[in-house]
Structure 1
């Protein structure tokens, strides 16, 4: 398991729209999201 931390500098985050923009710009653009998670517990 690998963990990452991102420290993102910003002056003011006043709307959820800005938060989503930052998320897409920084996180999603680098790693994307998983399409599915498969648990194998056998």
Structure 2
């Protein structure tokens, strides 16, 4: 991540955490969707 000099470090950390959480959430959502499709094809 890019840390801008003079910016609020807490804000940078929050943004980084948020993006990581969103990434994990998207992966989980995708896994659930794949699982549903597999069960639906049985």
TM-score (norm 2): 0.33
Q: Tell me the TM-score normalised to structure 1 length.
A: 0.33
| Larger fraction in helix | 2
Structure of greater relative contact order (alpha carbons < 8 Å, 6+ residues apart): 2
Q: Which structure would you say has the larger Rg?
A: 2
